[in-house]
Amino acid sequence: MSNILEVRDVAKFFGGIRALDGVTLSIPHKGLVGLIGPNGSGKTTLFNVITGFYVPDRGSVWFRESNSMVRIDGLNPNEVFRKGIVRTFQTPRLFNSLTVLENLLVTPVNQIGENVAKALYVKSWREQEIELSKKALGLLKTFGMLPYVNSRISELSVSHMKMLETMRGLMTPAKLYLLDEPTAGVDYSMARELFTYIKRLRDEQNLSFLIIEHRIEILMEFVDYVYVLHNGRLLSEGKPNEVTSDPKVIEAYIGA
Amino acid sequence: MIGFDIVGFIISWLTLFGIYAILSLTLNMESGVSGVTNFGKVVFYGIGAYISATLTTYLILMLNGVDIVENPPYNINGVILLGELGSKNPVLNIGLFILSVFLSFIVAGFVGYLLSYPILRVGPEFVGFTLLSTGELLRIFLLHFEPVGASKGLMAIPNPLGWIPDSRVRETLYLIVILAFLALTYTVMKRLLNSPLGRTLKSVRDDETAALCMGKHVPKIKALVLFIGSGFTGVAGTLLSYYFTSVNPNMFVPSVTFNAWAMIILGGMGNLTGSLLGAALITLVDRLLTFITPLLGITVISPDYVRWIIIGLLIVVVLIVNPRGILPEKPIKTPALQQVEEELKK
């Protein structure tokens, strides 16, 4: 199976701290991959390198574009997004003065009405707007958030914010999703529902996911491969059951 | 209150309102909606005013065969000649007006576009100060630049309607011209705000990083906003220069910028109708003081001092009652809202 993303020997240092120290991993096309590790192990730093917030000090990041791999490290975040990678943040970064609906509608790419000249003529973008709003409403319905459609972000609970951030990604044509703790603060049944939906998206729409998650019990149930980071290095990798029985992993989590 | 010229007062108020409302609307678009702290509004206003003044005075003299090396528009002979020649040819006057409007829009817009570059990498406070100091640099430059009259500025700028003998008719017609430009500005701003572009602008204001992650080209967006906002501000400058028929560097002090800021804070950041309201209120205070003070016969206190006290008080009172201004920001209106209503009815 071909890979959609390859991280090759990536290192990132902050002064003397080795946040990432030679990480190599790959995500297969239609992969649902977990990324776990204790706090400070470099998970979010890796996301920041992949999405263009940091330039790696060593190594490279490659992303599949049609039939070949292109190098994406060093690109700006908006360019990385345009390649087809969307991310969420550990602390949700939503557009706080906009409504839930507006937050979903702001993300789709190639909106006709974002062009100045065309923005002036409602007719030129009305159809697309209606189409997008139907898609947004569909998503809200799926996640039971329809009643909040006109709420401002400040009126939402943390779990709704988390879900909205993931849904915002789903409004884009991205092929790879980097989700940073999508279920933190989300109650158990809702979290399972979210993962079920992610899996369905993977199967039906051929999307790929790399998911940072601390709720390992839920994560392991859904992902098909797991990477474990520890002190900026890969500690272990494999199928969920292999990883959870790996003594090194158990030690890092419990013994450290 | 004998001698209070009510019609004159209303014309003068609405004229000033029209010009200032263009400033407040565009400032609201830049700062209220898009989060670009524009403390340099006066730069683009001044550019527009000076372009129109220079272009009109020089061209009128030259086209009438006056030797501008001997009689430049900024010396006394030039001013006298302008007074004689300025109202002879309606077509020329109107033509120069139209040319000025176009040129002011393009040049002011382009300067705004260029100024978006140095402000890209700094936080909102520094954007403010960079633009603020640019305004002062421009003013000091004009103060010493002889071809535009240095500290005296340019006078006797022929109004596009200067050939109309009756001053009341002329002022009324010019007011209509100004209000037409205001209507155009308002329509453009309103449409831009209530579109996917408006939504994107607000998203950049709310969280630049997240906007970047969603593929928004933040630098391009800021440059675009400053181009459009500054272009319209340049046109406001044009309208001002023909209204006062004179320009000088002291008309373009930082307080012009902060007047516009007072309007959008009062009216409500991010609400365009609020900007109109803010502009109407503050220009009303200004005009009332200008008209009433002479009638009261008070010479001890300049109305200017009272003006700032009143505006300051207004802002404090409004912000205590409603921190988001008289008319707070609303979600943008697009066809998506109808879809929501239909969905919720089900």
Measured distance CA(A74)–CA(A72) in Å, rounded: 6
Among A residues 58-77, those touching chain B with beta carbons less than 8 Å apart: 76-77
Bridge partner residues of A60 (DSSP): A8
pLDDT of residue A28: 93
Nearest CA in chain A to B329: A97
Give me the pLDDT at residue B298, please.
66
- Measured between beta carbons, which residues in chain B are less than 8 angstroms from residue A150? 331, 340
- Tell me the chain B residues in contact with residue A101 when contact means C-beta distances shorter than 8 Å: 331, 336, 340
pLDDT at B218: 87
For residue B161, being part of any structural domain is answered with yes
pLDDT digits (tens, 9 = 90+) for B135-158: 999 999 999 998 988 888 888 888
Contact A57, A13 (CB under 8 A): yes
Question: Is the ipTM reported for this complex over the cut 0.85?
Answer: no
Give a yes or no: residue B168 inside a domain. yes
pLDDT of residue B3: 63
* Mean pLDDT across chain B: 90
Is residue B135 included in any domain, yes or no?
Answer: yes
If contacts are CB pairs under 8 Å, which of residues 151-180 in chain A contact chain B?
168, 172
C-alpha–C-alpha distance, residues B306 and B17, integer Å: 19
B157: domain range?
6-253
- Summarised one tens digit per residue, pLDDT across range B107-138 is 999 999 999 888 777 777 788 888 999 999 99
Q: Please give, rounded to a whole number of angstroms, the shortest distance from the CA of B207 to a CA of chain A.
A: 6
Q: Looking at chain A from residue 23 to 52, which residues have their Cβ under 8 Å from any Cβ of chain B?
A: 51
Render pLDDT for A118-157 as a digit per residue (tens, 0 to 9).
999 989 999 999 999 999 999 898 888 899 999 999 888 8
> Any CB–CB contact under 8 A between B201 and chain A?
no
* pLDDT band at B2; cut points 50, 70, 90: low
Residues constituting chain A: 256
For residue A168, the chain B residues in CB contact (below 8 A) are 214
pLDDT at residue number B257: 94
Write a three-state SS string for B161-208: CCCCCCHHHHHHHHHHHHHHHHHHHHHHHHHHHCCHHHHHHHHHHHCH
User: In a mutagenesis test of the B interface, which of A50, A133, A146 is the best target, namely the one with the most B β-carbons within 10 Å?
Assistant: A133
User: How high is the mean pLDDT of chain A?
Assistant: 89
- The rounded Cα B117 to chain-centroid distance in angstroms is 22
Please report the residues numbered 254 through 283 in chain B whose beta carbons come closer than 8 angstroms to any beta carbon of chain A: 270
First to last CA, chain A: 36
Residue of chain B minimizing CA distance to A98: B331
Q: What is the DSSP string of B62-98?
A: HHTT--TTTS-TTSHHHHHHHHHHTTT-HHHHHHHHH
Mean pLDDT for B310-317 is 92
| pLDDT range class, residue A1, cuts 50, 70, 90 | low
Is there a domain that residue B169 lies in?
yes
For testing contact with chain B, the best of A107, A109, A128, A165 (most B CBs within 10 A):
A107
Cβ distance B215 to A81 less than 8 Å, yes or no, reads yes
Q: Is residue B249 part of a domain?
A: yes
**pLDDT of B203 over the 80 cut:** yes
Three-state DSSP class for residue B183: helix
Q: Report the pLDDT value the prediction gives residue B68, as an integer from 0 to 100.
A: 79
For residue B40, pLDDT over 60 is answered with yes
Residue B13: CB partners within 8 Å, gap ≥ 6?
B283, B284, B287
Tokens standing for residue B309? 């006290």
Please say whether the beta carbons of A128 and A112 come within 8 A. Answer: yes
pLDDT digits 0-9 by tens, B208-264 = 888 988 888 888 898 999 999 999 999 999 999 999 999 999 999 999 999 999 999
In angstroms, what CA-CA distances link B153 with B46, B252, B321? 12, 11, 43
The pTM assigned to this predicted structure is 0.88
- In a domain? residue B302: no
Is a pLDDT exceeding 60 seen at residue B4?
yes
- The reply to whether residue B206 touches residue A98, judged by beta carbons under 8 angstroms, is yes
Q: Tokens 């940091």 correspond to what residue?
A: A54
State the burial class of residue A230 (Cβ atoms within 10 Å of its Cβ: 0-12, 13-18, 19+).
buried
Joined tokens for residue A38: 């204790």
Helices A122-142 and A158-170 meet at what angle, rounded to 10? 130
Q: Is residue B345 part of a domain?
A: no
Tokens of A182: 């999508």
| pLDDT for B1 | 47
Report residue A211's pLDDT band, with 50, 70 and 90 as the boundaries: very high
The whole-angstrom separation of Cα B257 and Cα B250 is: 13
Query: What is the share, in percent, of chain A residues with pLDDT greater than 70?
Result: 98
Give me the count of residues in chain B.
346
Distance CA A88, CA A179 (A): 5
Chain B closest-CA separation from residue A238 CA (Å): 30
Q: How many domains is chain B partitioned into structurally?
A: 1
Give the minimum alpha-carbon distance from B220 to chain A in angstroms, rounded to a whole number: 12
Q: What is the pLDDT of residue A256?
A: 46
Between B55 and B89, where is the model more confident? B55
- Of residues B83 and B297, which shows the higher confidence score? B83
When CB atoms are compared, the residue of A81, A94, A134 closest to B339 is A134
Output the pLDDT for position B299.
66
Q: In this complex, is the C-beta atom of A83 within 8 Å of any C-beta atom belonging to chain B?
A: no
Sort B143 into a burial class: Cβ within 10 Å, 0-12 / 13-18 / 19+: middle
* Cα–Cα distance list, B234 to B23, B264, B277, B282 (Å): 9, 19, 21, 21
Mean pLDDT of A15-33: 91
Contact flag B336-A120 (C-beta cutoff 8 Å): no
Is residue B322 situated within a structural domain?
A: no
Q: How far is A130 from chain B (nearest CA, A)?
A: 6
